[in-house]
A and B are shown apart, each in its own frame.
Chain A
Amino acid sequence: MANQFTIGVVNVSMKHEAVSIRDIPARGMPEEEATAAQPAIFETVDGWMGHFGFFEFPKAGVIIGKFHWHRPPLVSPYDRLKNAGSTTVTRVGDRWVCPVRAMKIKGKPWPTLCSVTEEELDSLVGGSFEELVGSIGDVTMDTFGSLNPSAGKNVANALGLSVPAGEVEPLLAMIAVTRPLALIKKLGAS
């Protein structure tokens, strides 16, 4: 499996040393110790560095993918990733399922996490997004609702990715495209 890959101007390298944080899994929930077994370092040529992990919260029973550290000074456009851009991973059988959303300018003057079309993803990659993530691992891309039967109605029709549990590389590639790359390319700005 690839330990390091580059998508556009974003470089992703995996670390094999677990990282633990004390954090809340979601607003209003109690703080607990969460661990990411395979954290990754995202870097761009303009000097941004963010540490990312899929953190398993044992008490809340959820997995949250998020940037937990940025190299100071954290400047625009990456500063949005300090408080936005995290993702929830759902366990479905022996697979992890994750909605595909991207940082997009829509409704607000600044980018927020929004649902995106396959065309938008392809335009970010400059090719086929599905092929890109598929080249990194065993990935199924479909509507989130068909990958995760318990998905709520409002997200069921959005896109989702499914990977074997714990195989984070394709998900990291998805994060690279939909977070830093989407911010750099100003997705949604006319």
Chain B
Amino acid sequence: MILAPYVPRAASIHEAVYCYLSVERAVLQETESAVTNWATQYWGPSWHHIMVSDPLHESLSGWDSPNDPFYMLKAIAKIPKSPLRGALPPHPHLASFAMRVFHNRNSWAHFGNNQLMHSIKNDIQQLVVFATLAEFDVAARAKEAYEALDTLTKAAGGLVIAPVLKVATASVARAPETEDELPNVPDPMVVRPRVGSPWESDLPMERLELNLKQRDLLNTQTGQSVKDRWPTAALAAQVVNRWLDLSPSTPFVHVDPDDGATVGFLEGYPYLIGYVGEEPDSPEGQYRGFLSDAIYVYEGDALATPDYGSPLEMTTENQQAFLQEVKKRRLPQGEAFQISNYGDLVHLSDDGPVRVMTLR
């Protein structure tokens, strides 16, 4: 039995996440039953064995349990000649949406998805379109859930959503007690989430203004630029421009005086958007920031969009570095990538998004 998708009742990230997960579960379950029914009729009970031994399905290694929808979706999304495509109606855009749904599923399963409201809504909508093109029974309920969320967030979009957060107390801003005690030494106990994650604790104390006209970060009391907190002016300008490009919903950001962790509001919700000053190193493979909507597929020796084949413009240095990484990681043709607002090139692997390199 397929559980109906959850119809959200409030405009919160939490409700949106739950809505996505319930729609995804329903769509994957129906994918599983559609493929299983069709394949059993066509090939009989040993259909799974026939499928995994087909050389076309080489990239499905690991498909042990016949009713695992992950591999069914992967075959439909990434293997154009797979006979499994016959299980679903022959719509020209079905495979392209299957690919979106497949990559989204992988990102979500490994907590690497964009948790912006519009991204979550996009991800749900892609599930809805896929289910509609596949003529799934669940499509109508999925659409209803998506439309409920869309209506709620549109109505709330005009309001300033009061964050359930308060500004941290003054304890963090105490003056150094002795001259030896240096301020701004990051507390090694604080482990920050990935840049781009929703901010879930109290807002940091210091409030600064991102000024669009001056393209600068200003002290709200004096109007003085705080760009000198970065090691170089160029780096400061780069970070400030990156933040302005996110079009924050308020010009104010909240900065932790200890390590410069900066919280900004996007679509009314708080996120860790980066750091004032030097940024701590990210764990290997973890990307920073927010992913763009565009997906690029590795073909030939370049990256191009799957739908129109428009190539991603890269400098020669970037392209060479990319090809080296691809070789080193043994990534086959047809793998998909996205780019974050940090310029991180992210491989959409079956185990979630992995930063491959940073475009310069």
Contact = CB atoms under 8 A, between A and B. Distances in A.
Contacts of B221: 71
Contacts of A22: 212-213, 215
Contacts of B214: 19-21, 68-69
B215 A69 contact: no
A21 B213 contact: yes
A23 B212 CA distance: 9
B45 interface: no
Interface string A3-22: 00000000000000001111
B223 A49 contact: yes
A72 B223 contact: no
A170 to B, nearest CB: 23
Determine chain B's interface SS by DSSP, over half rule.
Answer: loop
A104 interface: no
B335 interface: no
Interface residues of A, number: 12
A179 interface: no
A12 to B, nearest CB: 14
B211 A69 contact: yes
Nearest to A20: B214
Contacts of A20: 214-215
B220 A68 contact: no
Nearest to A34: B213
Interface in B198-216: 209, 211-215
Contact of B220 (A19, A23, A41, A72): A72
B249 to A, nearest CB: 16
B140 interface: no
A51 B223 contact: yes
A121 to B, nearest CB: 28
A148 B212 CA distance: 34
A137 to B, nearest CB: 25
Interface residues of B, number: 11
Contacts of A68: 213-214
Interface string A43-82: 0000001010000000000000000110110000000000
Interface string A21-49: 11100000000000000000100000001
B218 interface: yes
B223 A69 contact: yes
A41 B222 CA distance: 9
Contacts of B222: 49, 71
Interface string B76-93: 000000000000000000
Contacts of A23: 213
A41 B223 contact: yes
B253 to A, nearest CB: 13
Contacts of B213: 21-23, 68-69
Nearest to A72: B220
Contacts of A19: 214
A131 B287 CA distance: 64
Contacts of B220: 71-72
A51 B209 CA distance: 14
Contacts of B211: 69
Nearest to A17: B225
Nearest to A73: B220
A20 B213 CA distance: 8
Nearest to B214: A21
A22 B220 CA distance: 19
Nearest to A50: B223
* Residue of A49, A68, A71 with most chain B CB atoms under a 10 A cut-off: A71
Given A20-B214, A69-B213, A72-B209, 17 more contacts: A19-B214, A20-B215, A21-B213, A21-B214, A21-B215, A22-B212, A23-B213, A41-B223, A49-B222, A51-B223, A68-B213, A68-B214, A69-B214, A71-B221, A71-B222, A71-B223, A72-B220
7 contacts: A20-B214, A21-B213, A22-B212, A22-B213, A41-B223, A49-B223, A71-B221
A-B residue pairs, 10 tightest by C-beta: A21-B213, A69-B223, A51-B223, A21-B214, A23-B213, A68-B213, A72-B220, A22-B213, A22-B215, A71-B221
Interface of A: 19-23, 41, 49, 51, 68-69, 71-72
